[in-house]
Amino acid sequence: MTKFDNPLAPKFGRLMNHSAQIKAWVREARDLPEDTPITVAELACRDEGCPDIETVIGILEVDKPIVTLRLHAKMTELSRYDVLAIACNF
Amino acid sequence: MSHPDHIPVFLLSGFLGAGKTTLLNAFLAGAEQGRSAIIVNEFGDVPIDNLLVRQGQTAISRVSTGCFCCSSDSDLRSTLRDLVAAQSTGSSLSFSRVIVEMSGLGDPAPLVSALSSDQDATFRIRHNNRSTTFYLAGVVTLFDTIAGPSSVENHFEALKQIAFADRIVLTKAGQAGPQGAEPSIEQLRLQLRMLNANAEILDDRSLDHRELFSPRPYIVAERGEDVSGWLALEAALAQDGTGTAHAPATGLATRHGDGIQTFSIVHSRPISSRRLYRFIELIQELAGSRLLRCKGIVATAETPETPLVFHAVQNHISAPVRLDAWPDTDQRTRIVFVTNGIDPDAVRQMFDAVATNAAIEVFQKFKQRLARVPVQLWQWLLAIRRQILEVKVNSPTKTPVTVLTGYLGAGKTTLLNRILTENHGKRYAVIVNEFGDVGIDNDIVVDTDEEIFEMNNGCICCTVRGDLIRILESLMKRRNRFDAILIETTGLADPAPVAQTFFMDEDVQARTKLDSIVTVVDAKHLLHEIDKAHEAQEQLAFADTILLNKIDLVDGQELERVEQRIRGINPTATIVRSERCQVDLAQILDRNAFDLDRILEIEPEFLGHYHDHHHDDHVSSFSLLSEEPLDYNRFFPWVQSIAQNHGPDLLRMKGIIAFEDDDDRYVIQGVHMLLEGNHQRPWETDERRLTRMVFIGRDLPRQVFEDGFKQCVYSAKELVE
């Protein structure tokens, strides 16, 4: 019988709701239409002194360079305020 | 016989499983005979609602498998014309009212718009110089007191059905929870009032069916601003022809959510009731609220001549009813599902496994071996099976993506055109980087320029293709137009960002799956190319399948040398030889080759037979083996540190791991820093528990990997400690 928690288990769906929520907040902050692609991912942060995981948001507006927003927290730890603050001010 | 020239039409709506058919049956049983024509509109590819409506001698039943709300009013008009014609020729009995039982997912707006006198759009049907006018005389919506609140919350169609009603009937109130349960009937009434202030709210326990379908004026203005707005929108859409004309021929309409679909199981052999109930129980448990509706007429093994009829809505199942006889000549089991984001194949597999003899056959096959298995292990095996099914059922249908790579001139476009022109029954959307030179004959071809999106300050492991994210977002809005996606990269493209695009974003992951990376290589020129071009080596390194093309241009010895060189770079890819890309496409497409778990099911010896080959290549591979089980407490930190420290150079990694104290094979794979691993299946009792890992990368420090790997061997634990 398996006795360990699998740290590499496929993550599909685990963060789906959080990802959708973050995208909605970014759209709200920057007044983006629904068809503007936004991508959200949790990445291992490689900077010294940073938390292990950061959330990286990409905004891919038509005919514009991709805008990258970085928040030094996991998706689950982000609040609407956090996302609005960075998305509005970038 | 005289026929009325003004006939009232009633719409009977209600979300899936609200009890429309039951109510219709009750009405027909008590109504004055010969007065009602019933039109049943079923959202499904196997119509069974008409079988479930009592087919009395005096009620006319008509069925459309199209969805009225999506297929314009022409379906309704032609059905009404048939009714009038049948009445006037005496082939059907006279009727003085029409009741349209809408599909559970039906949107009332188009029909109200077409029938309402407010809209000056009553239906007039002329037949034999006689005009019959049909007008809207009431909209009755059933509201399931158990599943209704969730349906309204999650499905816009359910909300619209409530808003359009002039009479709302609360159904299943007698089955609601104990007194004090939330929400109470009174609370539900209040909530419905907020959606529709003027409708009369009735209870099916004290219902006067005749009164329910008695003509009254249906006044749109009383239905609220939302309804007026929706009707105005409907009128505008109808005017510019975009409202309903886009409905697909299948009737699975675009008005419904992207994930909502219907499918059916038709089974010709009787099945036992016990197995049927087990199947329904499992599908309800696993699919949860995404099982919008399931209903069936079933030939049971006990008494196949008297079919069993059941209805299930989300987590609720009504008491199955046994009919006295089959309603028509078709005596096969037919079960129709309306689901949201569920893979039909998974449901069919589950039916085969649970409800049919497939499980018994499996049992017979392994009977002797399993007879020695203790009860706990039995339970555990069943739990594993259940987990597998759960994963399958819980995975919404994903669009498979095949990536075609290959160095310049290898034959990618030739292969692409073969895929697009050959009759294999699949429609592809194609994304190309090099549009123009050779024509590509396909409905959906999207040209794109590589747009590299570095999500993490230049880290190659976190680099994806921005252009693909943009295109996938747009393609996914047209999902009904294709079955799979092909991406043809440039001859110099790095496959890593393409592959990583499908793992970084949850939405992309939820809607697509990387089926395989296919690399086309030119047998004549490969050796020369990989000596001078790192790109050519990396395209080989990433491949799940390598199409070794133009083999007619080299002799046997050279071909052997080419294959050896490929094996040195990528020992795990499947090599398929071809001339001018003439190859059985089943070897290339729809193989789920990127999924190691899946490919091990098809090819159990995958990773089993290979030897390290040594060339002075920029990209190379090596393998690590252990006859002794590994310690998972050491393995996971080690493999994560390998990915973290060597990720940029670690192109691909695959492995099967045997852990101490673990009865299952564990499979792991990675692309740069992205790692995934899961249990695959129990080790067979006579199977050699060998751990095998293959690493493909750029100048990887093999000794460092090997030293770390050795520390993970369970027996090394004591030595280290």
User: Tell me, what CATH number does B442's domain have?
Assistant: 3.40.50.300
Query: Do B310 and B223 fall within a single domain?
Result: no
pLDDT-wise least confident of A15-19, B65-69, B263-267 = B65-69
Between these two residues, B333 and B533, which has the higher pLDDT value?
A: B333
Q: Does A65 touch chain B (CB under 8 A)?
A: no
- Note the pLDDT tens digit of each residue in B582-598: 888 888 887 777 765 55
Which residues in chain A touch residue B663, judged by CB atoms under 8 angstroms apart? 1-2
Q: Is the C-alpha dihedral spanning B171, B175, B178, B182 positive or negative?
A: negative
Containing domain of residue B463, as a range?
A: 399-594
A15 → closest Cβ in B474, B506, B661: B506
Comparison of pLDDT for B576 and B365, the residue scoring more: B576
Instruction: Give which of B657, B544, B685, B672 is closest to B602, Cα–Cα.
Output: B544
Residue that wins the pLDDT comparison between B680 and B483: B483
B608 band by pLDDT with thresholds 50, 70 and 90: low
Asked if A85 is an interface residue toward chain B (Cβ–Cβ < 8 A), one would say no
pLDDT band for B268, please (50, 70, 90 cuts).
Answer: confident
Q: B169 or B447: whose pLDDT is higher?
A: B169
Alpha-carbon Rg for chain A in angstroms: 15
Categorize the per-residue pLDDT at B547 as very low, low, confident or very high, splitting at 50, 70 and 90.
very high
Q: How many CB atoms lie within 10 A of CB A7?
A: 12
Domain final residue pick, B559, B578, B594: B594
Place of tokens 């591979």: B621
Task: Assess whether B484 and B582 both reside in one domain.
Answer: yes
Give, as one character, the DSSP assignment of residue B232.
H
Whether B70 shows a pLDDT value over 80: the answer reads no
Interface membership of B452 toward A (CB under 8 Å):
no
Residue B112 lies in a domain: yes
pLDDT: which is higher, B260 or B378:
B260
Cβ contacts from A onto B, under 8 A: 94
Search chain A and give the residue with CA nearest B475: A35
Q: Which of B184, B172, B7, B19 is nearest to B104 (CA)?
A: B19
Chain B residues 600-659 with CB within 8 Å of chain A = 632-633, 636, 639-640, 644, 659
- Non-local (6+) Cβ contacts of B475 within 8 A are B429, B444, B446, B482, B485
Q: Is residue B557 located within the same domain as residue B635? A: no
Of A40-44, B26-30, B374-378, B513-517, where does mean pLDDT reach its minimum? B374-378
Cα–Cα dist A3/B158, whole Å: 45
Does the pLDDT of residue A10 top 80, yes or no?
Answer: no
B451 touches A at CB < 8 Å: yes
pLDDT given at position B509: 81
User: Where is pLDDT greater, at B579 or B3?
Assistant: B579
User: Does B632 share its domain with B565?
Assistant: no
Q: In the predicted model, is pLDDT for residue B148 greater than 90? A: no
A2 interaction partners in chain B (CB closer than 8 Å): 662-664, 679
Q: Count Cα neighbours of B235 within 13 Å in the Cβ-side half-sphere.
A: 13
Tell the burial category of B720 from Cβ atoms under 10 Å away from its Cβ (0-12, 13-18, 19+): exposed
pLDDT number for residue A23: 93
The answer on pLDDT for B703 being more than 90 is yes
**Residue A71 distance to chain B (closest CA, Å):** 12
Considering the domain architecture, whether residues B105 and B147 belong to the same structural domain is answered as yes
**Looking at this predicted complex, what is its ipTM?**
0.84
Q: How far is B36 from chain A (nearest CA, A)?
A: 46
Q: Do B636 and A12 touch (CB under 8 A)?
A: no
Note the pLDDT tens digit of each residue in B204-222: 888 888 888 888 888 877 7
- Reply yes or no on whether the pLDDT at B396 is more than 80: no
**pLDDT confidence tier of residue B247, bands split at 50, 70 and 90:** very low
| Chain B residues with CB-CB distance to A45 below 8 A | 456
pLDDT at B64 exceeding the cut of 60: no
Domain count, chain B: 4
| Beta strand B399-406 pairing with B512-522 | parallel
Q: Provide, as residue numbers in chain A, all residues whose Cβ is less than 8 Å from the Cβ of B679.
A: 2, 6
Residue B411, pLDDT above cutoff 80 = yes
On whether both B630 and B576 belong to a single domain, the answer is: no
Q: What are the structural domain ranges in chain A?
A: 16-89
Whether residue B332 sits in one domain with residue B274: yes
What confidence score (pLDDT) does residue B330 get? 77
Q: What is the pLDDT of residues B351-376, one digit of tens each?
A: 887 766 555 555 455 444 444 555 55
Amino acid B238: pLDDT: 54
Cβ–Cβ < 8 Å for B114, B129: no
Cα nearest neighbour of B396 on chain A: A13
Mean pLDDT of B270-282: 81
Q: Which of A67-71, B323-327, B466-470, B511-515 has the lowest mean pLDDT?
A: B323-327
CB contact under 8 A, A8 and B678: yes
Is A60 touching B (CB cutoff 8 A)? yes
**Contact status of B470 with chain A (Cβ, < 8 Å):** yes
Region A81-86 average pLDDT: 91
Residues B281 and B197 in one domain: no
Per the omega criterion (within 30 degrees of 0), is the bond before B637 cis?
no
Q: Which pLDDT does position B66 carry in this prediction?
A: 47
Contact A56 B462 (CB under 8 A): yes
pLDDT given at position B481 = 79
For the ranges B133-137, B172-176, B348-352, B552-556, the maximum mean pLDDT occurs at: B552-556
- Whether B488 contacts B420, CB under 8 Å: no
Instruction: Check CB contact of B212 with chain A, cutoff 8 Å.
Output: no
B668 to chain A: closest CA residue = A8
Give the model's pLDDT for residue B665. Answer: 86
**Letter for the amino acid at B237?**
L
In angstroms, how far is CA B152 from the centroid of its own chain?
23
What's the CA gap between B24 and B406, in Å, rounded?
62
Counting residues of chain B whose pLDDT is more than 90, the rounded percentage is: 11
Res B266 pLDDT > 60: yes
B232 and B267 belong to one structural domain: no
Residue B60 falls within a domain, yes or no?
yes
Q: Given an 8 Å threshold on Cβ–Cβ distance, is A46 in contact with B457? A: yes
Residue of B nearest to A54 (CA): B456
Q: Is A68 on the interface with B (CB under 8 A)?
A: yes
CB contact under 8 A, B508 and A9: no
Query: Under CATH, which number does the domain A16-89 receive?
Result: 3.30.160
**Domain shared by B419 and B460, yes or no:** yes
Average pLDDT over residues B224-233: 66
Q: What was the pLDDT predicted at A57?
A: 94
Residue B295 is predicted with a pLDDT of: 78
Q: Which residue in chain A is spatially nearest to B469 when comparing CA positions? A: A37
**Closest alpha carbon to B539 in B565, B560, B563, B520:** B520
Per-residue confidence (pLDDT) for residue A3, from 0 to 100: 63
Question: Any chain B CB within 8 A of the CB of A56?
Answer: yes
Higher per-residue pLDDT: B707 or B150:
B707
Q: Is residue B251 part of a domain?
A: no
One domain for residues B584 and B664 = no
Secondary structure E strands in B47-152: 60-64, 97-101, 123-127, 130-144
Structural contact between residues B556 and B523, judged by C-beta atoms closer than 8 angstroms: no
Q: Domain boundary at B594, B609, B634, which?
A: B594
Is B361 an interface residue toward A (CB < 8 Å)?
no
Subunit contact B469:A19, Cβ cutoff 8 A: no
- Give yes or no for A33 touching B (CB within 8 A): no
> What confidence score (pLDDT) does residue B542 get?
85
Residue B338 has pLDDT above 70, yes or no: yes
**Is the separation of the CB atoms in B522 and B549 below 8 Å?**
yes
C-beta atoms of B507 and A35 within 8 A: no
Which CATH number is B347's domain given? 3.30.1220.10
Q: How far from B477 is each of B244, B254, B644, CA to CA, in Å?
A: 17, 10, 36
Residues B624 and B587 in one domain: no
CB-nearest to A9 from B459, B633, B678 is B678
Q: Is A26 an 8 Å CB contact of chain B?
A: no
A45-59, B45-59, B424-438, B681-695: range with lowest mean pLDDT? B45-59
Residues of A within 8 A of B678 (CB-CB) are 6, 8-10
Mean pLDDT of chain B: 75
